[in-house]
Amino acid sequence: RKEVEQDPGPFNVPEGATVAFNCTYSNSASQSFFWYRQDCRKEPKLLMSVYSSGNEDGRFTAQLNRASQYISLLIRDSKLSDSATYLCVVNEAGGGNKLTFGTGTQLKVEL
Amino acid sequence: EAGVAQSPRYKIIEKRQSVAFWCNPISGHATLYWYQQILGQGPKLLIQFQNNGVVDDSQLPKDRFSAERLKGVDSTLKIQPAKLEDSAVYLCASSLAGGGEQYFGPGTRLTVT
């Protein structure tokens, strides 16, 4: 089983739609969780951290379910500019605080 | 604030040749990472430095890859000799502390022919 697993997509959605991505992780001792965004041929950038209580930043909502070992990202009112790859990232427990990236989920928002 | 700098941005070499990449992290960031990102995959950690010490190099192919961070600031990653499967984007990232938000450089796109 992969350490961090995501559906690669692509998710093709119309502008204004709501879209949700899920990610599962294998290490139950993982400490912290993030969503990064990566535009085509660009470097990844932090989108948001994922807290146990869930967190919201404008149109973006992230949730963590430790019992089922998955995290989610919800994007409301999708914009064309949201088109990108969304990387699920898990901070593995243990020395060094190593971040493990999923393969990413590609989102394409269309007119 | 200046971001993470990397050079070169692009490199094309033949298999069995050597190549080196350079990274200058954000000023004050103690932790530096090198990642390999193959097309269609997420970044894979190659090596993590805390100041000038290695924290994790478990996924670094040590028979051909080497990295150093002298003086705990900038870093170089070397591949010698290169193989076709080394074609990828090599990303450098830095953070204030291990496990926190990582800031990535623009990457070096390596093509091995």
Pair of tokens at residue A8 = 């690669």
Q: With DSSP H G I counted as helix, E B as strand and the rest as coil, what are the percentages for chain B, rounded to 5? A: 5, 50, 45
Measure CB to CB from residue B105 to each of A34, A43, A46 and give the nearest one.
A43
Which chain B positions have a beta carbon within 8 Å of A8's beta carbon? Answer: 40
Strand-strand pairing, B108-112 and B10-13? parallel
Contact B91 A102 (CB under 8 A): no
Q: What is the layout of strands, in order, in the sheet containing B19-24?
A: B5-7, B19-24, B75-79, B65-68
The predicted structure's pLDDT at residue A94: 62
| pLDDT over 70 at A97, yes or no | no
The predicted structure's pLDDT at residue A96: 60
User: Looking at the complex, does the CB of residue B32 fall below 8 Å from at least one CB of chain A?
Assistant: no
B101/A37 Cα distance (integer angstroms): 13
The predicted structure's pLDDT at residue B99: 64
Measure CB to CB from residue A43 to each of B44, B50, B106 and give the nearest one.
B106
Give the pLDDT confidence of A54-70 residue by residue, as tens digits.
Answer: 899 999 999 999 999 99
Which chain B positions have a beta carbon within 8 Å of A9's beta carbon? Answer: none
Chain B nearest C-alpha distance from A30 (Å):
11
Q: Among B39, B38, B25, which Cα is nearest to B97's?
A: B25
Confidence grade of residue B101 (pLDDT, cut at 50, 70, 90): confident
Give the pLDDT confidence of B44-97 residue by residue, as tens digits.
Answer: 999 999 998 999 999 999 999 999 998 889 999 999 999 999 999 999 999 987
Contact A102 B105 (CB under 8 A): no
Give the pLDDT confidence of A41-54 residue by residue, as tens digits.
Answer: 999 999 999 988 88
Contact B41 A103 (CB under 8 A): yes
